[in-house]
Amino acid sequence: METRRLTKMALLTALLCISAYISFPLPFSPAMVTALTLVATLIGLLLQPKDALIVFIVYVLLGTVGLPVFVGGTGGFGKLFGPTGGFIFSWPVAYTLLSVYKGNKRSFTSYAWRSIVITIPIVYLFGVTGYMLVTNTDLWAALVAVMFPFIPGDIFKCLVASWLATKVKI
């Protein structure tokens, strides 16, 4: 790999790790509001699919071995199989697919639409399913706990990331 490409991937991996610290809890949910989804969307829009996939695999591996790169500065293998572990598993899939289907035109409207339609359903499919399996709750309880309160913020973060992706040249 060329130096410029590796540098972009390393910087975006670092930014993803740092964004995990920008978070706050909601009293009724084990999931937290974070900057991770904004940065993850930005990565999907800025990088080529292979590079985006590598960034997310590296991120998951860093957290799995115990580095505090997951939400709120947590890490470890157990986090992957906790109530919110499904969200972590979703990122390599959702944001790599965003990178695949983002299109060639750097357009806010195209980026925003694609990031909302591609990433949000995939992230919540994995996240809600994981939450239900770990906590033994029904679908409605899982949707109320880890999806419904977060959708408006996720849409907003997709819009911000889409705007940034049209302005940033890396």
CATH of the domain at 42: 1.10.1760.20
Give the mean pLDDT of the chain: 95
Per-residue pLDDT of 52-95, as tens digits, reads 999 999 999 999 999 999 998 999 999 999 999 999 999 999 99
Residues of the domain holding 17:
3-22+30-167
DSSP state of 128: H
pLDDT score of 104: 87
What is the average per-residue pLDDT within 7-26?
94
DSSP state of 70: B
What is the average per-residue pLDDT within 136-141?
97
Domain count for the chain: 1
DSSP state of 72: G
How are the residues of the chain apportioned to helix, strand and coil, as percentages rounded to the nearest 5? 70, 5, 25
Residue 30 has pLDDT above 90, yes or no: no
Q: Kindly report which listed range (27-31, 58-62, 119-123, 136-140) carries the lowest average pLDDT score.
A: 27-31
